[in-house]
Copies of this chain bind each other. A is one copy, B any other.
Amino acid sequence: MPKREEMYKFDEQKFLLDGLKVYAIRVSIEEAADRLAGRQFSNLVLTGVGGTTAELHAVRRIVEIYSDIPVHLLNAAEARACADRRITKDSLLITASKSGDTKETVEICRYARELGATVASFVATADCPLAKVSDEVIVSPEEGMENTYLRLYLFILRYLYQKGCFPAYERFADQMKRLHPEALRVKHRYDATADENTRKYYKEPYQIWIGSDMVFGELTLLTMCVLEEMQWMRNRLVSSAEFFHGTLELVEKDVMVTLVKGLGPCRELDERVERFLQGRTDKLVVVDLEEVRLTGIDEEFQYLLSPVLFANVMEGRYCWNLEKYSGHDLSIRRYYRQFEY
């Protein structure tokens, strides 16, 4: 076994312990999903703002792939402003807020419950404002994308299992015990790559990021919530399919492009982008999810987990290495939550 280097700003013991804590509430997540699955809803409304809608993107894809249950991903502020007719007394809203007080999210839940809708929320503390406007509350303060997705996936896949749409649930949930130890192993392996890429490109004045399908929400999170919000870095995110209808014209030899080659059926679209980019930029970073797989987890689940595979090495290592080189602390904001607006 190769010697493990210590990783910049990463506490291994805390990471593993947090994983155990989240896995420990598996049963209570399942019980919440079971209670809700026992009722009839006309649709699932996934809602929130910013990072939360980005995370819920994968949840929507999962529902779309395994079921015919009507599912909508709505920005909370827009849905409230236009009193979106898809939110009715028969809707199940699923949302989350790390702070527990995101005003747009609290407001859409308050509004939806006035209509008679049901709200399930993922929060860090039981007494936060969002919990107060929710019918089912999953309380779990552990941060990090692995934990965020583990909670969401246990919930939605259990819900689909109870609806007869995801028979593999028990196997999936059992294998999730391996998530954190495996994620840690892959982080160690990827850290040198993250170091190299961020050292080379931390000063780029503009970057193009490209990817598809299951991982697109997580790419939104990284480019908006990390690169823009935490590093003030200008970038353009575009899907592999849409890239060819505009953004391709911005590719030049000295324009940095990061391409995510995902797992699953849309990988061919990412590969088409890769062929186009060869020789057209000298600053190409390919994040190939094939290379950051988690062992001991079934093939069919790796595709579902592709946002986790991505976040594990990107939010998990790339972003920290970026901070190391840019010298721009990830916690510094100019505006966000610095004052009322």
Binding site for B on A (CB under 8 A): 49-51, 53, 64-65, 68, 70, 75-78, 81-86, 104, 205-206, 212-213, 224-225, 228-230, 232, 234-236, 238-239, 241-242, 244-251, 264-266, 268-269, 272, 275-276, 333-336, 341
| A341–B276 touching, CB < 8 Å | yes
Residue from B53, B238, B250, B335 in contact with A248 in the complex, judged by beta carbons closer than 8 Å: B335
| B49–A272 touching, CB < 8 Å | no
| A86–B70 touching, CB < 8 Å | no
Q: Which residue of B lies closest to A223 (CB)?
A: B246
Give the copy number.
2
Nearest-Cβ distance from residue A206 to partner chain B, whole angstroms: 5
A230, A232, A269: which has the most chain B beta carbons within 10 Å?
A: A269
Can you add 4 more A-B contacts, CB < 8 Å, to A49-B242, A78-B239, A224-B238? Answer: A49-B241, A75-B241, A81-B268, A248-B336
22 A-B residue pairs with Cβ-Cβ distance under 8 Å, sorted by A, are A49-B241, A49-B244, A50-B242, A50-B246, A64-B84, A64-B86, A65-B82, A70-B70, A75-B241, A82-B265, A205-B205, A225-B245, A225-B246, A229-B247, A229-B248, A234-B236, A235-B236, A244-B336, A249-B333, A249-B334, A275-B341, A276-B341
| B333–A265 touching, CB < 8 Å | no
Complex alpha-carbon distance, A228 and B246, angstroms = 6
Complex alpha-carbon distance, A68 and B84, angstroms = 11
